Amino acid sequence: MPDPVQVRSMFGRIARRYDFLNRLLSMGIDRGWRRTMLRTAGQMEGARVVDVCCGTGDVAFTFQAAGADVVGIDFTPEMLLLAAAKDAARSGRFVRGDALALPVRTACADAVTIAFGIRNVADRAQGLAELARVARPGGRVLVLEFTLPPGRISGALYRLYFTRILPFVGGFVSGDRAAYRYLPDTVLAWPDPRTFQREMEAVGLVDCGFRLLTGGIACLSFGTVPRATTPST
Ligand SMILES: C[S@@+](CC[C@H](N)C(=O)[O-])C[C@H]1O[C@@H](n2cnc3c(N)ncnc32)[C@H](O)[C@@H]1O
């Protein structure tokens, strides 16, 4: 289980190099994944969005560009400072807070997003319950994460990249080997998309599903907060 003190300190150390390494190590594909997240969320003009584990703000800015009013929440001050510095329009709001106890009202958002964040949260069920709490009835919860591609050959190649090349390049550029060993370790321990879908259903989300991206190296999982039903008489 990830230790929040270590996770925060690790992201604090790599914050300055985070965006550069994201682009380098994903070969720019991560931008397309965030755009897929936006398309899956639906019409976002005027929508209220809470982006959890916002980091340097890439998801928040993607949704803002589509007309959403976004609040980004993260517990690492160094990442939040970078997000605020990138916020050229000064329209985004980046707030310090823990994914396990989000500092926002219940049912305040039309959509709640989390990209490459839930894997780092110490109590996944509690983290998912918080995402579901914050979305309004009918609102969507969208979770973007790395996964292991299903095929034997692609799976083996991906493992090789993830366990050898990525820690080497990431460690070299960031100067923090441990941080880029942590990434493959947590991805290899991540549940498969169907198991994760059941975890989303277990916190009360409905219409849950997932979409594998780029041959299954990432997965966009989604669910909806049920609308209140009026009891029949
Ligand atoms: C891999 S980064 C992802 C950043 C961003 N969502 C993106 O797509 O690039 C993970 C972020 O999650 C944050 N984080 C991890 N655990 C958290 C928690 N319990 N509460 C709030 N933020 C957390 C870290 O500080 C870090 O900024």
Stated pTM of the model = 0.92
Q: Look at residue 116 and tell me if it is in a domain.
A: yes
User: At 43, which CATH number?
Assistant: 3.40.50.150
Q: Which residues pair with 219 in a beta bridge?
A: 145, 212
Q: Look at residue 78 and tell me if it is in a domain.
A: yes
Pocket-testing residue among 3, 11, 71, ligand 1, by greatest number of atoms within 8 A of Cβ: 11
For residue 106, the model assigns a pLDDT of 98
Domain count, the chain: 1
Q: Look at residue 157 and tell me if it is in a domain.
A: no
For residue 167, the model assigns a pLDDT of 79
Contact 111, 41 (CB under 8 A): yes
Q: Look at residue 156 and tell me if it is in a domain.
A: no
Cβ–ligand 1 contact at 59 (below 6 Å): yes
Distance 121 CA to ligand 1 centre (A): 8
What tokens appear for 65 in the block? 């560009």
For residue 90, the model assigns a pLDDT of 67
Q: Give the separation between CA 84 and CA 42, rounded to whole angstroms.
A: 26
Strands (E), the chain: 48-52, 69-74, 93-96, 109-115, 135-146, 206-213, 218-224
Distance 194 CA to ligand 1 centre (A): 23
For residue 22, the model assigns a pLDDT of 83
Q: Which residues pair with 124 in a beta bridge?
A: none
Cβ–ligand 1 contact at 55 (below 6 Å): yes
For residue 180, the model assigns a pLDDT of 77
Cβ–ligand 1 contact at 127 (below 6 Å): no
Distance 53 CA to ligand 1 centre (A): 4
Q: How many CB atoms within 10 Å of residue 187? A: 21
Domain enclosing residue 43, as ranges = 4-146+191-224
Q: How are beta strands 218-224 and 135-146 bridged, if at all?
A: antiparallel
Sheet containing 109-115: which strands, arranged edge to edge?
A: 93-96, 69-74, 48-52, 109-115, 135-146, 218-224, 206-213
Contact 134, 102 (CB under 8 A): yes
To the nearest whole percent, how much of the chain has pLDDT over 70? 96
Q: Look at residue 233 and tell me if it is in a domain.
A: no
Q: Look at residue 183 and tell me if it is in a domain.
A: no
Distance 23 CA to ligand 1 centre (A): 17
Residues in the chain with pLDDT values less than 70:
89-92, 229-233
